[in-house]
Structure 1
Amino acid sequence: MIFSLLNVRKKTAATIAGIAIAALCLWGISTWQDIPASELFSILLATTIMVGAVMVAAILLIAIFKILGNFLGKSPDTDNKGKQD
């Protein structure tokens, strides 16, 4: 494969190839449908920003629930209940 010359991992090469294929497909659609490339780029950028915002929101929600779970799960009474002298 051509990416073996760049000394990158297989997953990285697959990601680069996927991005290149997507860019070429968008270019082909824009020339076929007479859509300006700038309009397709703005749609792609807006979609990327939306997906990024959803990912950040999901990560924040997970962090909030984990912090709340740790905070509510620890109470001072539960530390000595299981111990027998």
Structure 2
Amino acid sequence: MDEPHLDAGDLEMIRLGVLDVASDIESLKPGAAVVVAVSSVTLVLTQYQPEGLRAAVIGWINKHFGLSHPMPEVVYISASDRCDFNFS
């Protein structure tokens, strides 16, 4: 069975998640270049929402760099059976 591949929307969510915490990373070593390499992503496709990938990237980077960037507020909307992510 073929593994699912990330589409352009998923890649954009990864990019946005990195951008969300970029200034936090930069503050650790001002002026230093940092490369964030994603070698794999495991997705649970049941009720998958790309915004969850963005939130996961923030969490991964927080853990890896010892940061405490705020996580998005997530609210489950039962009428649409989806989550609403607030990244502000």
- For normalisation by structure 2, the TM-score amounts to 0.27
Structure showing the higher helix proportion among its residues = 1
Report 1 or 2 for greater relative contact order, CA contacts < 8 Å, sequence distance ≥ 6: 2
- For normalisation by structure 1, the TM-score amounts to 0.27
